[in-house]
Amino acid sequence: MAIDRFGRNIHYLRISLTDHCNLRCIYCMPEDMTFRPNADLMQDDEIIFFTRLFASLGFDKIRLTGGEPTVRANVVNLVRSIASTDGIRSVSMTTNGLLLKKLAQPLAEAGLQRVNVSIDTLDPAKFKRLTRWGKLDDVWEGILAAEQAGLAPVKLNAVVVKGYNEDDVIDLAALTISHPWQMRFIEMMPFAGATEIQVNQVITMKQIQENIESEFGKLEISNNGKMDGEAQVFHIPHAKGDIGFISSVTHPFCSACTRARLTSDGKLRLCLLREKEVDLLTPLRAGASLDELRKLLLDGVWEKPWGHGLADGVIPLNRIMSEIGG
């Protein structure tokens, strides 16, 4: 079991399969982004090795992230290997959905259980402006393919950016009236690469909720008031689905955090919004023993910080978002 110095059982691992992406979202990266060469990233056998290592220490929940995880070569076989690892009970993925029309069914058959699909607007022109690349129709077809493949409950993620899509939250929230989906609204978080936008164009959870309630009336509490992962969950009266609010900036949920991240280049990152990392890939490639790697991992988990430092003006600048994995 991996325990940090605050007594939290860290058992949820987010594995970034790649820093590469087939979109260039304005709040994530510059349009002329240069990605790491594949040789610098974890290879398939290394990802499987680390999955087994983490599982042997009590990690039982895996989320696959990017960049965009579906652009990773051999992603279906990787999912199959991860899902069949002893001790792993949950395998999910966060994706932009562009390739799900093709991949949803094979991924489900390989053992993927759920997906979170990023969709910041239902307006094709705004989608193009926010993501720079890609077509909204492809994402929508991917969402429907995921639902058809049984990757449920389908969760949709929207990052809300002032001046871009703050008024679109009403249409997005309305999706939950007729669909049994969870629409999650995420406060924008500051990182390197697009820091000015991330700091100056934040829309808070309170503002998002007030906007939705101005259209649908007061939201009702879902999930008996308990957090669903990092989301506070509500619903529009009589709706089939739920609305989640992830307020990492204004109402952080650090005390309940049980997650760690493994970046695509093999660094253990214990807090999304803190720069400190533990290099696991370099020692593995240098021939470190299993016991040595296990000690590195457990020592790193022990030093997991209590939470981020945004309130004190501490912004992580050593990586952009796509280099960490959400």
Span 125-184, pLDDT tens digits: 999 998 998 899 999 999 999 999 999 999 999 988 888 888 999 999 999 999 999 999
pTM score, whole prediction: 0.92
Domains identified in the chain, total number: 1
Tell me if 221 is assigned to some domain: yes
Tell me if 5 is assigned to some domain: no
Tell me if 29 is assigned to some domain: yes
Pairing between β-strand 61-65 and β-strand 90-95 as defined by DSSP bridges? parallel
For 63, list phi and psi in degrees, rounded to 5: -120, 130
Q: Mean pLDDT, the chain, as a whole number?
A: 90
Share of the chain above pLDDT 90, in %: 71
Tell me if 264 is assigned to some domain: yes
For 4, list phi and psi in degrees, rounded to 5: -95, 175
Instruction: Identify residue 226 by its one-letter amino acid code.
Output: K
What CATH number corresponds to the domain at position 118?
A: 3.20.20.70
Of residues 90, 114, 46, 80, the one with CA closest to residue 258: 90
Q: Would you say residue 189 has pLDDT above 80? A: no
Cα–Cα distances in angstroms (integers) from residue 160 to residues 157, 204, 314, 325, in the given order:
10, 8, 22, 18
Distance separating alpha carbons of residues 184 and 33, to the nearest angstrom = 27
Per-residue model confidence as pLDDT tens digits over 57-74: 999 999 999 999 999 999
Per-residue model confidence as pLDDT tens digits over 141-158: 999 999 999 999 999 999
Of residues 97, 140, 93, the one with CA closest to residue 114: 93
Tell me if 40 is assigned to some domain: yes
Per-residue model confidence as pLDDT tens digits over 205-262: 899 999 999 999 999 999 898 888 888 999 999 999 999 998 876 776 777 889 999 9
Q: Would you say residue 185 has pLDDT above 50? A: yes
Per-residue model confidence as pLDDT tens digits over 76-86: 999 999 999 99
Q: pLDDT grade, residue 316 (50/70/90)?
A: low
User: What integer pLDDT is reported at residue 97 of this predicted model?
Assistant: 97
Q: What range does the domain containing 20 cover?
A: 12-323
Tell me if 80 is assigned to some domain: yes
Axis crossing angle, helix 205-216 with helix 169-178, rounded to the nearest 10: 60
Tell me if 92 is assigned to some domain: yes
Strand partners, 186: 159, 246
Q: pLDDT grade, residue 312 (50/70/90)?
A: low
Tell me if 1 is assigned to some domain: no
Cα–Cα distances in angstroms (integers) from residue 122 to residues 52, 170, 291, in the given order:
40, 10, 50
User: What integer pLDDT is reported at residue 194 of this predicted model?
Assistant: 47
